[in-house]
Amino acid sequence: MINSLYVSRLADLLVNYSLSLGKGKEVVYRSTYEALPLAVEVVRAVVESGSYPIVMMGDEVLSEVFYRYASEEVLKYVPKVDKFIMENVDALISVVSSTHTKHLASIDPTKIKIASAARKELTEVFMKRSAEGSLKWVVTAYPTKALAQDAGMSFGDYADFVFKALKVDRENPVEEWKKQAEFQEKVAEFLKKVSELRFVGPEMDVTFRVEGRNWVNDDGEHNMPGGEVFTAPIEDSAEGYIEFTYPAVWRGKEVEGVRLRFEKGVVVEASAKRGEDFLKKMLKTDEGASRVGELAFGLNYDVKRFTKSILFDEKIGGTIHIALGAAYPECGGKNVSAIHWDMVRDMKDSKVYADGDLVYENGKFIEEVL
């Protein structure tokens, strides 16, 4: 079911396009054991580039055991090796390759909250180094039966979905990603001139100010697949309400029918059809968890369905998403939090106004504005 040629192309795409490694770099590769075939090809590609691979592989069961038995003291502890890696390595390759996507379903949300808050310093280091360019990173995916089951697909169909979204089913994936990048750059350049965005549709009327903020073109350098443009809205600007089409997933926990209402940038009302208690606890992780750290448009029209994997879901062509919590400094964002929780909404039957003018309708930017 797994095409070895596609796996090899993916490794080359990550090392030579997403990271553009060059020589003499230390590269950490992280995945579960399910992605061993990709690990093999990544090691090959990294070594061929003249750099040094450091492979870290595990399994979700280990994470479940940690949270189940860890005391509060242990949950708050940040290992020195994790801090060293975040402060010193040149590049990170993280691979979504779950063997079990509900491994934390029965864990007390308070434990997850405590551990997330403790790792805030690592998040800040990551964000800072990413913004200044001293840390290159990319997140990708490898097909597993667990991910296929979550997506409601057969394993073979899911593998096809993943490799098509990554464009490695095509003879020259790099050229395909360059075309995607050109289209998204037009969107980003347009949005950089905008001061205010208003999103209107069924169960949605919310406004964000974005003047002076940078819009980033995610063309596959940090996320593979890429397929979005994103920014950090002004921290006190969110006003109105929005209900999200798809479940919001955080470390295996699903919250369905999330509805948020904002005043002066802060979530003042939060509800959900399922998982509301978890949603409200996560909003209290820290002061920044109830503010919007990211606002984005999904522009990869090769990603056509929701799979419960945010790596793909936030790129679905014709969607928007916001992230509660940490902002990316390269956008000009100032919100700091231990969480960065993406929530996705389909934009069918919805509109976007930029400084009062209609610029986006039914999932696409109006051609004349780009």
Domain boundaries defined on the chain: 4-171, 182-369
Structure tokens at 45: 């590609």
Give the Cα separation of 330 and 163 in Å (integer).
Answer: 29
Percentage above 90 pLDDT, the chain: 85
Distance of CA 307 to the CA centre of its chain: 13
Give the Cα separation of 139 and 163 in Å (integer).
Answer: 14
Is the pLDDT confidence value at 192 over 80? yes
Nearest to 344 by CA among 366, 363, 329, 331: 363
Query: Per-residue pLDDT tens for 141-182?
Result: 999 999 999 999 999 999 999 999 999 999 999 999 999 999
Band the pLDDT of 232: cuts 50, 70, 90: very high
- Average pLDDT of the chain is 94
Band the pLDDT of 226: cuts 50, 70, 90: very high
Is the pLDDT confidence value at 42 over 80? yes
Give the Cα separation of 142 and 95 in Å (integer).
Answer: 7
Q: Which residues pair with 243 in a beta bridge?
A: 259
Average pLDDT over residues 112-119: 88
CATH 3.90.320.10 fits 4-171, yes or no: no
Give the Cα separation of 273 and 294 in Å (integer).
Answer: 23
Residue 123: its pLDDT value, please? 87
Global pTM value: 0.82
Band the pLDDT of 329: cuts 50, 70, 90: confident
Residue 21: its pLDDT value, please? 86
Average pLDDT over residues 21-34: 94
Distances, alpha carbon 294 to alpha carbons 92, 142, 158, 370, in Å: 22, 26, 28, 22
Taking each continuous run of H as one helix and of E as one strand, the counts in the chain are: 12, 19
Nearest to 309 by CA among 233, 231, 230, 225: 225
CA atoms within 13 A on the CB side of 27: 31
Exposure letters 171-184 (e unless 16+ CB within 10 A, then b)? eebeebbeebbebb
Q: Which residues pair with 228 in a beta bridge?
A: 218, 298
Q: Which residues pair with 281 in a beta bridge?
A: none
Residue 109: its pLDDT value, please? 83
Average pLDDT over residues 261-285: 96
Give the Cα separation of 182 and 358 in Å (integer).
Answer: 23
Give the Cα separation of 128 and 130 in Å (integer).
Answer: 5
**Per mean pLDDT, which range of 42-46, 166-170, 241-245, 336-340 is the poorest?**
336-340
Question: Pairing relation of β-strands 292-298 and 239-243?
Answer: unpaired
